[in-house]
Amino acid sequence: MLMDSPLLPARSLVAQGGEHLPHHITILAALVVALGVAWLQPALATEPETGTPIQQTRYSHYPFGTDESVIDFGTQPLWLPAGLITEVMRRDGILRETLHQQGKTIRFHPFMKGADVNRYIHDGVLEGGVGGDMPAITACATDQVRVVSLMDRYFTAVVAPTPLLLSDLRGRRIAYAPGSNAHYGLLSALTMANLTPSDVTLVPMEVDIMPIALQQGYIDAFSAWEPTPGLAVDRYGHKIVHRFLSAGYLYFSQAFATQQSASVTAVVAAEIRALRWLAESDDHIIQAIGWTAETIQELIGRRLELSQAEMLRLIRRSLRILWDAPLIPKEIFSATGSIGLATQFLAHTGAIPATLSWAQMIGCFDRTVGEEVLGRPLPHRLNTFTYGGKPQ
């Protein structure tokens, strides 16, 4: 449950960069930190532009593997539908069995956003994870990751208390998660309105805090992915003022994808099985919602209060395009496709190196893994479901 506490936004706001805040909020946040309140300690500080972890308290207890037999995989339970899909994959007995035959086990670790996942892949702690357009492109530019399947094709949204035009954002305080899909969507929205980042006050913030911060007037708008916009609308009556179509992907470090291709294939097969199981009935989706809610509570210390009916509606709608096949769309292999346009935009804004070639970028995306799995449904047991036992 998200609590309406004035200290809660102060905790995340200071954790995300107090220099961007109004003076009175900065003082309050500094006071909270000075008091050393114990329940505030898990906050993860990030650099506003890069999302690089400064304090890794939130993730410091994770049991990362120390040898090649353990696959550490980063998830994002606060991102739907990807968080739901990976929660089903965590419980896949066939994945566990297949990896055991390869002499491996897998551990799923929840993260707040793709930039955090990327940092741990870059440091060699994670073998793979999930992230949206901007995280995937950034990881490709930085580490030449191997992107092997689609995890999402839905909207990020800019949310405000009342309806307004994008041009009305001038001078407003807008929260965003650095290095995320919604960060890219916000920059694009500002460009559409002939605004630049300097025309607004950008406030780096974790997504779980955004609806409360908006409700309490600490910010004037925020940009986020589902279910955060849905929560803001459902609970507080906030308004979605702009939507931006985005995508999300499953990817691995280049070394792991090259050296452990059979394990990569097993994980992609688990994703496809999860999607087919979810497509069977609303009861399966509701069960997965419960699993996801538990992981969210473990990650942020409280439940995400969104009605089951609203969650079900969001998930049905966002999963629709993935149920056929979570293959990387062929259109992205064109320089004028979604990844090509995003790459150009992000290079222009300085988010990725302008020297990155299109050949380097598109070389990160590998559609053949999903095609091979879908082409051999019986050997990969795509229609056999064994979701039980302790989550991985």
312 is a domain residue: yes
Q: Are residues 111 and 217 in the same domain?
A: no
Residue 278 lies in a domain: yes
For residue 302, the enclosing domain spans 70-151+248-375
> How much is the average pLDDT of 104-120?
96
Strand order in the sheet with 221-225: 105-110, 70-75, 128-132, 239-252, 146-160, 221-225, 173-176, 201-204
Asked if the structure places residue 46 within a domain, the reply is yes
User: How high is the pLDDT of residue 192?
Assistant: 93
**Are 140 and 162 members of one domain?**
no
Task: From 121, 141, 123, 124, select the one nearest 133 (Cα to Cα).
Answer: 141
338: domain CATH number is 3.40.190.10
The pLDDT of residue 52 is 43
pLDDT at residue 262, rounded to an integer = 98
CA distance 90 to 274: 10
**Is position 13 within any domain?**
yes
Among 12-21, 266-275, 329-338, 347-356, the range with the most confident prediction by mean pLDDT is: 266-275
Question: pLDDT at residue 119 above 70?
Answer: yes
108 has pLDDT over 50: yes
Q: 94 with 381: CB under 8 angstroms?
A: yes
Give the pLDDT band of residue 6 (cuts 50, 70, 90). very low
Q: Do residues 258 and 326 both lie within one domain?
A: yes
Q: What is the mean pLDDT of residues 77-100?
A: 96
Mean pLDDT of the chain: 85
Any domain includes 382: no
The pTM for the full model equals 0.84
Listed in sequence order, the residues at least 6 apart from 350 whose beta carbon sits closer than 8 Å to its beta carbon are none
Q: Looking at 196, 214, 245, which one is the last position of a domain?
A: 245
- CA atoms of 101 and 111, how far apart (whole Å): 28
Does one domain contain both 125 and 269? yes
Retrieve residue 86's tokens. Answer: 């990976």
- How much is the pLDDT for 56? 57
pLDDT in tens, 212-227: 999 999 999 999 999 9
pLDDT at 295 over 60: yes
